[in-house]
Amino acid sequence: MATDIQDTVHAVDAAAVMGLLAARPRVLALGEPTHGEDALLDVRNELFRQLVEEEGYRTIAIESDCLAALRVDAYVTSGAGSLDEVMARGFSHDLGDSASNRELVRWVRAFNEGRSASDRLRFAGIDGPLEWTGAASPREALTSLHGYLARHLDAGLLPCTVRTLDRLLGADERWTEPAAMTDPARSAGRSAEAAELRLLADELAALLDAQTPHLITATSREEWERARLYGRTATGLLRYHHGMADPSPGRMARLTGVRDLMMADNLLALAERGPTLVHAHNSHLQRDVSSMQMGGRRVEWWGAGSIVSARLGGSYAFFATALGTIRHRGVESPQPGTLEGLLYALPDDVCVVDSPALGAALAGALASPRASAWFGYFPFEPAHLTATDGLVFIKDIPQGRAASI
């Protein structure tokens, strides 16, 4: 069996990744089982460089605020702002503190220097303006969408004025109340104003779609696509706030589902632009149903990857990442009999595994997934092998820096 398993292992490079696929996907998803480790991002960065140079990929997307990421995209495409500024304001979830993310932004900016607009690399966030502590006010998305439409359409077509939006939105603090994450009664998501805003957001988004031929001609496809992003974000945020005010037992399942639907919609829009590498947590990108323990209860939802895969079929590919150790987090050598334990015994420090072939070689020999000593690390589910195009394995994650490939 060991020989069969070794035959499924390859170096992590663009040629090996593409060699496991029938065709170049429009969305190539690379998952990670934990956040905050630059070693994982270094593997992502090098793979993206190769995909750009060898396979024509022109967009990288990460699990970060889609609106904040517009600042990063403006910097890498036109030099707007400064590197320090975009690292501070262009990321959510503290991702701007990552040295590897900084290196990625610097490299993309250098690559784009002197290139035509059609050949430049693009940067995108797929997440909503969300944090575990709550959700942003829908103000930026709603007023940006309204402003775009007001500049290019007759005022009589708009369902409201910006003053109406301001009145209904009120103070941003009512939307960003941290206590609302755990106490539905503290959320403004089911207030009368929120209900009216949801209707207006829907009408504004519908007006944008209905006026597409005029708006693309009057502005540009680029500006119209940005307005679509504002529309998706406004309606998604209002839906999320509505879910935060839900006192029922299904509250967290609905919130995780709404968040991943926002990610999926953003990914599908990026796929229309061209081949995209997306990097996010395995649970967001996998084809199987996602789950986690929360408050002593198992929460399940369909992640962005499952939704995009259902829509794109073979144009979506998913490579999960599994790890051996993160010793500085208390994750020691994997237990014998687990998938990670099997891969840890191989000589490769970093490799990509043909998941279907590995599954066939194992023939169901692994009885249970690995147990994690740290809540922030999600071991790979062996049952997911058949729904995964490849599995990147990194033997040891060093504290603070890189795993080389």
Longest dimension (CA), the chain: 71
Q: Are 247 and 172 in contact (CB under 8 A)?
A: no
Query: What is the per-residue pLDDT across 94-144, written as a single tens digit (0 to 9) for each?
Result: 999 999 999 999 999 999 999 999 999 999 999 999 987 889 999 999 999
Structure confidence by residue, pLDDT tens digits, 302-315: 999 999 999 999 99
**Do the Cβ atoms of 403 and 43 come closer than 8 Å?**
yes
- State both tokens at 342: 């099997």
Write down the pLDDT at residue 103: 98
User: 322-379 pLDDT, tens per residue?
Assistant: 999 999 999 999 998 899 999 999 999 999 999 999 988 887 677 578 998 899 999 9
Question: Domain locations in the chain?
Answer: 1-57+277-405, 133-274
Tokens of 8: 């499924």
pLDDT band at 6 (very low <50, low <70, confident <90, very high): confident
Q: List C-alpha distances in Å: 16 to 3, 10, 263, 278, 292.
A: 19, 6, 27, 18, 31
DSSP letters spanning 313-352: GGGEEEEEEEEEEBGGGTB-SPPTTSHHHHHHTSS-SEEE
Class of domain 1-57+277-405: alpha beta
